[in-house]
Amino acid sequence: MPRDPFAPLTLKQRRRRMVRDLKRQLLRPLRPSRLQPRREGPPHLLLVGVDTLRADHLGCYGHSRPTSPRLDALAGRGTVFTDVTACAPWTLPSFASALTGVMPGVHGAYLPGPERNMDTQPPRRLDDGMVTLARHLRTQGYRTAAFYSNQFFAFGLAESFDRHTYINDEAQAVVAEAADWIRRHADRPLFCFILLNDPHEPTTPRPEDLEPFLASATTQGADTSAAMLRALARWGESPAPRLGLADDPPGKELQAALALKLAIYDATIGQVDRAIGDLDARLERWGLGDRTLRSVFSDHGEEFLDHVGWARKWNHDPRGIFGIGHGHSMFHELLHVPWLAWGAGVPPGVRRSEPVSLMDLAPTLLDWMGLPPLPVPPAAGPASAREMAPLLTGRSLVRSAAGDAQRIILSEAMAYGPDLVAVRKGRWKLVARRDGRPLALFDLRDDPGETKDAAADHPQELADLQAIAVRWRDSGQGAAGDDGSGGSWSDMDDEIHQRLKDLGYAE
């Protein structure tokens, strides 16, 4: 493997990193540590969101490759939720739901319209006045800061923190900035949020992180030249084959390229794992381990041709690509996300298998911390809105009984294609249009890979979930919105536009 095949793609990042590191070293004498391990009062909260991390690529969720040895060990010290569903299949609405405890249709940060295409249409910002976890903790006396590497976090979420810093860099660099802030503010309760973007395209892991994962690709005949690796930092620029145009099943050349793409993806997870493990070890050295609740989760997963056949059958992605990336479907590889926690207040050695939603994250963290719950937005509108209110708001999993296998869990807010929703109840999951017209019904117990449409054989289950989707639409709180014609990427600030373009958005 070349020494660093991604060096031309990360040159700007490395230059900015050198400047930040130098500045941090020069200012360190002027920024004294305020570490108080024996401080009284509520615990610190360190919350790490990892963009584009699907659950089944972590060891503690069953992955066979060594992507997450540190997180696996930390998970064993705390609580792991094994069946977590994201509220949306892309960044902004999903992170907003996790940090407000409500569905996208309530918090407003999503792409509106009957047909969505984020390449040509920007999303809405978080609604003004929405209470985020950061705003709520500030009222409880917390200092708050966010360090994030995806600009969509600054569509209303970042601004709810006392301090927020955008850092377009690898996990270790983002964590270094966050750790320095923690060191200087730990004399009173703090909430530090870190958003790591490494598994999101362009995926550019360090050579030492990539090397352990290349063998599986080379055995399939993958070309591991620098040019090929750089091309697959995205979804297949020349000379790599275009993975988004794969047939079902993909041919031999595409399978080799896919194996290499998966190796790159797993390497970025290893990079994130090392950074989080190092940060946790630093907290322990500082004596903050017993006084800090730590939690890691993801906003959504990533598709690697898992459902390319379905994508070609439905043919609803306006970009003309099939079965790659995120934001374009409601399949499990995008909606099943990890969530684990350990430290102050967290039950140790627990694995909870009941279906839960990312909306439950903030309410549960607050309960573990012994703090008041987030204020619940009032249920406005007709009786159907009041009826649906419990489904649109998260709940504390500390107080709810484990084993709620029949809980209804919703997902919405597509970024590409028609306005689709997913309704899950027990073993059954419906993917449908906003008005309830079904695309497919899946039996997650007998068909966890979502390979067969069970609608014809189970008409009653189909009708039950369709009825929920229709009531949700009629409540007026789903993320449907207007025709989406009111905004343009050209209206965005040039710096914001460039940051998103660096991530592959708004081309």
CA proximity to 259, closest of 228, 300, 298 = 228
Residue type, 19: V
Per-residue pLDDT reduced to its tens digit, 272-324: 999 999 999 999 999 999 999 999 999 999 999 999 999 999 999 999 999 99
For residues 379 and 473, give the distance between their C-alpha atoms in angstroms, rounded to a whole number: 14
CATH code assigned at 89: 3.40.720.10
Is the per-residue pLDDT at 400 higher than 80?
Answer: no
Domain count, the chain: 1
For residues 299 and 86, give the distance between their C-alpha atoms in angstroms, rounded to a whole number: 6
Q: Domain for residue 81, yes or no?
A: yes
Q: Which residues contact 199 (CB under 8 A, 6 or more apart)?
A: 50, 51, 52, 53, 265, 268, 269, 272, 302
Residue 8's SS3 state is helix
- State residue 401's pLDDT score: 59
Q: Domain for residue 408, yes or no?
A: no
Q: Domain for residue 165, yes or no?
A: yes
Angle at 132 between CA 128 and CA 134, to 5 degrees: 125
When pLDDT is cut at 50, 70 and 90, the band that residue 2 belongs to is low
When pLDDT is cut at 50, 70 and 90, the band that residue 365 belongs to is very high
Q: Domain for residue 480, yes or no?
A: no
Q: Domain for residue 433, yes or no?
A: no
- State residue 390's pLDDT score: 81
Q: Domain for residue 262, yes or no?
A: yes
Is the per-residue pLDDT at 379 higher than 70?
Answer: no
When pLDDT is cut at 50, 70 and 90, the band that residue 149 belongs to is very high
Whole-model pTM? 0.95
Is the per-residue pLDDT at 31 higher than 90?
Answer: no
Q: Domain for residue 362, yes or no?
A: yes
Is the per-residue pLDDT at 364 higher than 80?
Answer: yes
* Tokens 């043919």 sit on residue: 315
Per-residue pLDDT reduced to its tens digit, 402-429: 667 789 999 999 999 999 999 999 999 9
- State residue 467's pLDDT score: 94
Q: Domain for residue 166, yes or no?
A: yes
For residues 303 and 54, give the distance between their C-alpha atoms in angstroms, rounded to a whole number: 9
Q: Are 191 and 142 in contact (CB under 8 A)?
A: yes
- State residue 403's pLDDT score: 62
Domain span including residue 75: 7-33+42-113+122-372
For residues 192 and 60, give the distance between their C-alpha atoms in angstroms, rounded to a whole number: 24
